[in-house]
Amino acid sequence: MKKQLIIVAGGKGLRMGGEIPKQFLPVNGKPVLMLTLETFHRFDSEMKIILVLPREQQAYWKGLCENCHFEIPYLLADGGETRFLSVKNGLSLADDDGLIGVHDGVRPFVSQEVIARCFDIAFSKAAVIPVIDVVETIRKLDGEQSETVDRNNYKLVQTPQVFTTSLLKCAYRQEYSPCFTDDASVVEAMGIKVTLVPGNRENIKITTPFDMIIANALANV
């Protein structure tokens, strides 16, 4: 079955404390976003990749690609004001059939096994997301009070989130809601059940300077 992927990279890097958006920061000498595209190209070189970037960042990205002789093929879509609109713009470039994943541009360390698992199971389940266990103690806040909750009842959600393309396109015809925090939440708003599969803990979302330390360590493993 045809495989497609939307990579969303709209971060401004505010939590990094610098002017360069986090997806362009170097990890082991190469921009994070390039590492992410390489990860999926390595999984399936025939996969159609759609990269969603804010229009004001596209010239900078193209310059990085020229400097690094980056030649992995992809289609480029304009980022929107929200993640919902960014994914919707990416979907406009996607074919109607097969499976499609949506992945965060700043998650370059998703394993090949997790990518394969998500796509393989989406073939029969239609909506699949990778998750990992919570290992810290969790407390629920209630005003000025708080209480410990059972962490076994919670999971941390990762990407790629993979769906049949027809399902995801249908879901994104809905009106935007602030409750849409990821693609799974958009699909669930239609009453569709989402299947959870094991992710990999190295699949971190690079957001803070500390994450960059971890990322450089992972890149050299």
pLDDT tens digit sequence for 139-161:
999 999 999 999 999 999 999 99
d(CA 60, CA 177): 31
pTM of the complete model beyond 0.75: yes
Q: What is the CATH number of the domain that holds 196?
A: 3.90.550.10
Q: How many CB atoms within 10 Å of residue 190? A: 12
d(CA 21, CA 64): 13
Domain span holding position 184: 3-219
Beta strand 75-78 with 48-53: parallel, antiparallel or unpaired?
Answer: parallel
pLDDT tens digit sequence for 157-203:
999 999 999 999 999 999 999 999 999 999 999 999 999 999 999 99
pLDDT at 18: 61
Number of domains present in the structure of the chain: 1
Question: Helix or strand or coil: residue 210?
Answer: helix
Kindly give, in sequence order, each residue whose CB lies less than 8 Å from that of residue 142, ignoring residues fewer than 6 positions away. none
pLDDT higher than 70, residue 85: yes
Question: Helix or strand or coil: residue 105?
Answer: coil
pLDDT higher than 70, residue 104: yes
HEC string of 21-81 equals CHHHCEECCEEHHHHHHHHHHHHCCCCEEEEEECHHHHHHHHHHHHHCCCCCCCEEEECCC
